[in-house]
Chains A and B, each alone.
Chain A
Amino acid sequence: MTGTTAGRAKARPARRGTPGAPRRLIYLTLTAVAFFSAIPLYYSVVVASRDNAALAEVPPPLVPGGNFFANVARVFDTVPFGLALANSVLVSGSIALSVMFFSTLAGFAFAKLRFRGRNALLLLTVATMMVPTQLGIIPLYMLMVKLEWTGTMYALIVPAMVSAFGVFFMTQYLSRALPTELLEAGRVDGCSTWGLFWHVVVPVARPAAAVLGMLTFMSAWNDYFWPLVVLTPENPTVQVALSTLAAGYVNDYVLGLTGTALGTLPLVIVFGLLGKQIIGGIMQGAVKG
C-alpha cells in the first residue's frame, strides 16, 4: 500500500540527529545501562552452571562452570518443567493474538469512526485500566470454580483475551498514524467498514500491533499471581513452576537460578526474533520520507 506508507511518512517525518551532547558520553551511558540490564541475567547463568558450594566462595564465581546440564536435569526431576513450558507457550500465544486483534479493531473504531457515545466509551476504557486485578480476583476465582476451569488453561486465557491497555494503545497510535483521507478514499472506492479495517487499517496498524503483541506475550508469560491462585503445582505455567522451585528449595540457589535461566531463555529467544521486527517497525516509520 504505497498510499499508506506515504501517508505515514508525512505524519512521522525522519529524525536525523538532535544536536549537542557529546557522542562518546551517550555511548558510554547506554553501554552502562546495557551492562546493568544484562548482568543479573548473566549472573543467573553463572550460578546455574555451578554448584552450591561455589556460591559460598569469596569472591563469588564470575564465569560459567560446567554443571549446567546436571542442574537442568535436577530441575526437570523436581518440577514438571516441560509441561510448564508447553502451557506457557499456549497461554501466552493465544492471549497475544487475541489482544492484538480485538485492540486493533476497537482502536480503529475509537480513533477513526464516528458514533454516538464514543468519547464516553473511550473514557470508560481508560478508566478500566485503573481497575486493579487483585480487586476482582476473589470473585473471579469463585467464577472459575463454578465453571470448573480451575487448574486448566481456560482460567488463564479467557479472562485475558481483551485488554484496556491494548485498546487505548491502538487508539492512540491509529488516531496519529492513520490518515483520515486514506479511509475516505477507501469509502469512495466502495469499501465496507470491515473492508477498510482489513485493507487500510491493519497494514497501518501492524508496527504498533506487533509491539502490543510482544508486550502482551511477555506479560502473559510472566504473569504470576493469577496462575498461582488458580493453577495447581501439577499443571503449572513456567512462573508457577519457578516459584515452587524457589519456595521449596530455599537454600538451593543453584536449582532456583537454573529454573530461572530455563524459564527466561524461551522468552529471550522469542524477543530476539520478534524484537528486531518490532524495533524495525518503529524505526521504519521514522526513517522513511
Chain B
Amino acid sequence: MATRAPDRLAAVPPGKPVRPHHRVRRHLVHQLDVKGSPYAYVAPFFLLFSAFGLFPLAYTAWVSLHEWVLLSEEQTFVGLDNFRTLLADDYFWNATFNTLSIGVLSTVPQLLLAIWLAHLLNRPLRAQTFFRVTLLLPNVTSVVAVVVIFSQLFGRDFGMINWVLSWFGVDAVPWNEGVASSHVAISIMIMWRWTGYNALIFLAAMQAVPRELYEAATIDGAGEFTQLRRITIPMIKPTIVFVVITSTIGAMQVLAEPLLFGVYTLTGGVDRQYQTLALFIYENFIKLDLGYASAISWMMFVFIVVIAGINYLITRRSRGGLL
C-alpha cells in the first residue's frame, strides 16, 4: 500500500503499512500526547514540592498541637495550648516587632533604589557588562560572609564605619547594642546584598518594554522621569508585584543576619533587641521544644500571608495584573 504524503509528515515508522486502525491508534497516541504531556511536565514540581514542602507544612500544624520533644517517644496532645502560651509571650511580640521593623527598613528603600538603578542601566552605556556584574556582586557574597564582613565594619572601636563617622564628629556608635542602631545595621546588610539582584530582575523586565512606546512618548515631549513613571513602571508592573511579594516573604524570614550579628547567640542580642521571628523559632528548635517552635511557625505563616496579601493589593491597585 502506498503511503500518502501527509502520513509521511506525521513520522510513520518505515516499513509499516498504514491501515485505518493504525491511523486511529496514531490519532490516539497524539491525543494522549497533547492531553497528557502538560500534566507530566508539571508533575515533577508538584510531587517533589508535596513531599518536601507541603507535607512538612501540614505536619507542622499537627506538631504544633502537641507537647513534642525531638526523638522522645511520647508526644502529648495539648490542643491549642502552645498558641495560648505564644500569644501571651512577650518574647514572641518582641520578635514580631523586630521582624516588621527590619522588614520595612530594608525593603522599602531597597526596591525604590533597585527600580532606579535598573532604569539607569536600561540604555546603551559603555561598560554595561561591568556595571551589571558589580550590581550583582553583593548577591554572590553569602549571607554568612556579609555578616562577618559587616560585623567588622560596624565594630564599635575599630570598625570602618565608625571611623568614617568620626570625621563628621560623630561619637563611636555601639551598633549592636541599641534597638534602632542594630535594626539599621542589619537592614543595611540586607539592602547591600539584595538591591542589585532586584535591579537585575527589573532590568530584565524593562528590556521587554517595546521601544516604540518610548519613541512615541519622546515625540510627545515626555521627559525621562515621566517616561519612567508613565511607561516603564506600568509596563513592568507584574514584575514589580512579583518582587514586592518575594521581598516581603524574604524579609519576614530573616534569620542569619541577626544570628551571626549577635555572634551566634540565639536571642539576637543580650536584650533580644534584634531577635527576629525566624530566630525565635530556631531558639525553640534548639531547645528541642518542637511543639512550641511549630506554633510560632504557624503564626509566622499567617503574618506572611496577611502582609504579602496587603502588599499584593497595594502594588496591583493602579494598573496591570499578575496573572
Chain B hits for A125, CB < 8 A = 45
**Shortest Cβ distance from B34 into A: residue:** A193
Whether A118 contacts B120 in the complex (CB less than 8 A), given A56-B158, A243-B264, comes out as no
Whether A246 contacts B144 by the Cβ 8 Å rule is yes
Q: B290 in the interface, Cβ–Cβ < 8 Å? A: yes
Whether B9 contacts A189 by the Cβ 8 Å rule is yes
Question: C-beta contact mask, B198-221 vs A, less than 8 Å → 1, else 0?
Answer: 000001100110111010001000
Chain B hits for A47, CB < 8 A = 152
Q: B301 in the interface, Cβ–Cβ < 8 Å? A: yes
Q: A2 in the interface, Cβ–Cβ < 8 Å? A: no
Give CA–CA (A118, B41) in the complex, Å.
12
- Please report which residues of chain A, range 13-35, place their CB below 8 angstroms from some CB of chain B when the two chains form the complex: 13-21, 26-27, 29-30, 33-34
- Please report which residues of chain B, range 1-35, place their CB below 8 angstroms from some CB of chain A when the two chains form the complex: 9-11, 33-35
Binding site secondary structure of chain A = helix
Question: C-beta contact mask, B93-110 vs A, less than 8 Å → 1, else 0?
Answer: 000000000000000000
Whether B148 contacts A242 by the Cβ 8 Å rule is yes
Question: C-beta contact mask, A93-130 vs B, less than 8 Å → 1, else 0?
Answer: 00000000011011011100111001101111110111
Whether A222 contacts B300 in the complex (CB less than 8 A), given A137-B56, A192-B33, A243-B260, comes out as no
Chain A hits for B122, CB < 8 A = 15, 18
Whether B301 contacts A224 by the Cβ 8 Å rule is no
Chain A hits for B34, CB < 8 A = 193
Give CA–CA (A130, B255) in the complex, Å.
17
Whether A131 contacts B38 in the complex (CB less than 8 A), given A16-B211, A224-B144, A268-B140, comes out as no
Q: B263 in the interface, Cβ–Cβ < 8 Å? A: yes
Give CA–CA (A22, B255) in the complex, Å.
41
Residue total for B at the interface (Cβ-Cβ under 8 A): 109
Whether B46 contacts A138 by the Cβ 8 Å rule is no
Whether A130 contacts B150 in the complex (CB less than 8 A), given A123-B323, A243-B260, comes out as no
Whether A133 contacts B137 by the Cβ 8 Å rule is no
Q: B168 in the interface, Cβ–Cβ < 8 Å? A: no
Chain A hits for B132, CB < 8 A = 275, 279
Whether B44 contacts A102 by the Cβ 8 Å rule is yes
Chain B hits for A151, CB < 8 A = none
Give CA–CA (A11, B214) in the complex, Å.
16
**Which listed residue (A13, A158, A172, A194) contacts B210, Cβ 8 A?**
A13
Whether B323 contacts A122 by the Cβ 8 Å rule is yes
Q: A41 in the interface, Cβ–Cβ < 8 Å? A: yes
Shortest Cβ gap from A281 to chain B (Å)? 10
Give CA–CA (A40, B214) in the complex, Å.
38
Whether B60 contacts A12 by the Cβ 8 Å rule is no
- Please report which residues of chain A, range 224-247, place their CB below 8 angstroms from some CB of chain B when the two chains form the complex: 224-225, 229, 238-239, 242-243, 246-247
Among the 9-residue stretches B79-87, B173-181, B244-252, the one with 4 or more Cβ atoms under 8 Å from chain A is B244-252
Whether A41 contacts B212 by the Cβ 8 Å rule is no
Whether A106 contacts B45 in the complex (CB less than 8 A), given A132-B249, A138-B63, comes out as yes
- Please report which residues of chain A, range 244-289, place their CB below 8 angstroms from some CB of chain B when the two chains form the complex: 246-247, 250, 253, 256-257, 259-260, 263-264, 267-268, 271-272, 275-276, 279-280, 282-283, 285-286
Q: B318 in the interface, Cβ–Cβ < 8 Å? A: no
Q: B238 in the interface, Cβ–Cβ < 8 Å? A: yes
Chain B hits for A194, CB < 8 A = 33, 37
Whether A161 contacts B149 in the complex (CB less than 8 A), given A58-B163, A129-B245, A279-B132, comes out as no
Whether A172 contacts B238 in the complex (CB less than 8 A), given A130-B308, A218-B139, A256-B148, comes out as yes
Whether B135 contacts A37 by the Cβ 8 Å rule is yes
Whether A121 contacts B117 in the complex (CB less than 8 A), given A113-B37, A282-B204, A285-B207, comes out as no
**Shortest Cβ distance from B290 into A: residue:** A138
Whether B298 contacts A135 by the Cβ 8 Å rule is yes
- Please report which residues of chain A, range 37-66, place their CB below 8 angstroms from some CB of chain B when the two chains form the complex: 37-38, 40-41, 43-44, 47, 55-56, 58-60
**Which listed residue (A105, A142, A260) contacts B145, Cβ 8 A?**
A260
- Please report which residues of chain B, range 293-314, place their CB below 8 angstroms from some CB of chain A when the two chains form the complex: 293-294, 297-298, 300-301, 304-305, 308
Whether B49 contacts A128 by the Cβ 8 Å rule is yes
Whether B211 contacts A247 by the Cβ 8 Å rule is no
Whether A264 contacts B57 by the Cβ 8 Å rule is no
Give CA–CA (A59, B166) in the complex, Å.
11
Question: C-beta contact mask, B111-150 vs A, less than 8 Å → 1, else 0?
Answer: 0000001001111111011111111111111111111111
**Which listed residue (A26, A29, A224) contacts B143, Cβ 8 A?**
A224
Whether A130 contacts B249 by the Cβ 8 Å rule is yes
Question: C-beta contact mask, A137-166 vs B, less than 8 Å → 1, else 0?
Answer: 111101101000000000000110110110
Whether A143 contacts B56 in the complex (CB less than 8 A), given A18-B227, A41-B137, A279-B129, comes out as yes
Inter-chain pairs besides A103-B45, A130-B305, A224-B143, 14 sampled, C-beta below 8 Å:
A18-B224, A40-B192, A43-B152, A113-B41, A115-B35, A132-B301, A140-B56, A159-B48, A193-B38, A225-B282, A257-B149, A260-B145, A282-B207, A285-B207
Q: What are 13 pairs between A and B in contact, CB < 8 Å?
A: A26-B120, A27-B125, A37-B135, A40-B149, A59-B163, A109-B38, A134-B297, A137-B281, A138-B56, A159-B52, A194-B33, A238-B142, A275-B136
